[in-house]
Amino acid sequence: MVPGDTSFNRNETENGPSVLKHGRREVLLRLARLGLVAGSSAYLGHALYDAPGFSGYVKRGSRQVRDFRLDAEELTAQLPQMAIAQSSTVPEELTRRAIEALGGMKRFISRGDRVAVKPNIGWDRTPAHAANTNPRVVAEVVRLCLNAGASQVVVTDASCNEARRSFQRSGIWKQAHEAGAQVVLPASHRFKTMRLRGELLDEWPVYTPLIEADKVINIPVAKHHNLSNYTGAMKNWYGVLGGRRNRLHQNIHLSIADLATFMRPTLTVLDATRVLVRNGPQGGNIADARDMHQVIASMDEVAADTYGARLIGVDPATVKYLALGQERDLGKMDLLSVVRV
């Protein structure tokens, strides 16, 4: 029965079964209408399956994109694209200064927003090892989001090492919770298979807490990586994926570019308070880390990573995914719209 077609019900109750009342032509027409409804329902079901929970969904060419950026008017405002905060040893102060230089958190977060915060919580390491994001930077971002009016802030990552130990030993679980965030551990039911339609990444399990939000803030740590030479903002999106991510290492630069094409964050806050300059991404020896006392807030992930690579002593030209990101118009490597605060 076609929803809303009351004549079909009336004919059944008043004049006997509809198939008997109408001729063959009418029956075929009604079956065709039913087919159209079923087809529309199937299409809608596919669209809902592939859409994020609360944010907008767009396609760029043949690729899927989760775009959490500000609207075009805000993106063209007369403010720098990137701010580098330094000259302090207090992570919270550096974080506030960097974000304030871009217009403050209220520029990015609206009252009632559900915000997903994505640090690097990949490793069972302490903050001194600099393999994960500084928990004090994460906590300050949470506080700023809540002060800007966010209704909920979720802090999460799909860890490489055992998640519970990584979340605890990194210090991020405790600090983020105390700041008012909902800390979410990865679990199998929180992934859904999606078609990313990238050049390398096609169908893959995607971590839904990071796409079912109104706004997304990426908070990586700048560090060395033994395969890509450098890891920061763009590489941090590996935490969006489940499954056997190590398979992507065979073409790591293209996979990173595909992920950065898929995920367009509202804001990037690059932690460079303490960086891992060798033996990354996991580290393990405190001597491999160095204090830099900087936090970089950016609306351009390519620019943030270009600066971060230089900061840890890596030539950005050797980080091939940066050039790929620039080719895809994800950002620029020229660092022209930058302010130091």
- The CB density around residue 94, as the number of other CB atoms within 10 Å, is 29
The winner for highest mean pLDDT among 17-21, 145-149, 237-241 is: 145-149
Tell me what percent of the residues of the chain surpass a pLDDT of 90. Answer: 70
Record the pTM: 0.81
Assess whether pLDDT exceeds 70 at residue 73.
no
Question: Which of 228, 260, 221 minimizes the C-alpha distance to 241?
Answer: 260
**Cα angle 200, 305, 69; round to 5:** 75
What are 271-310's pLDDT values in tens digits?
Answer: 999 999 999 999 999 999 999 999 999 999 999 999 999 9
DSSP for 121-143?
--SS--GGGTSS--HHHHHHHHH
pLDDT computed for residue 55 by the predictor: 39
Reduced to 3 states (helix: H, G, I; strand: E, B; else coil), residue 292 is strand
Q: Look at residue 15 and tell me whether its pLDDT is greater than 50.
A: no
**Which residues, in sequence order, are CB contacts of 225 under 8 Å at separation 6+?**
231, 235, 280, 281
Confidence of residue 66 (pLDDT cuts 50, 70, 90): confident
> Which residues touch 6 (CB under 8 Å, ≥6 apart)?
none
**In the chain, which ranges are continuous DSSP H helix?**
6-15, 18-21, 24-50, 72-75, 91-101, 135-147, 163-169, 172-179, 252-262, 301-311, 320-327
112-149 pLDDT per residue, tens: 999 999 999 999 999 999 999 999 999 999 999 999 99
Does residue 74 carry a pLDDT above 90? no
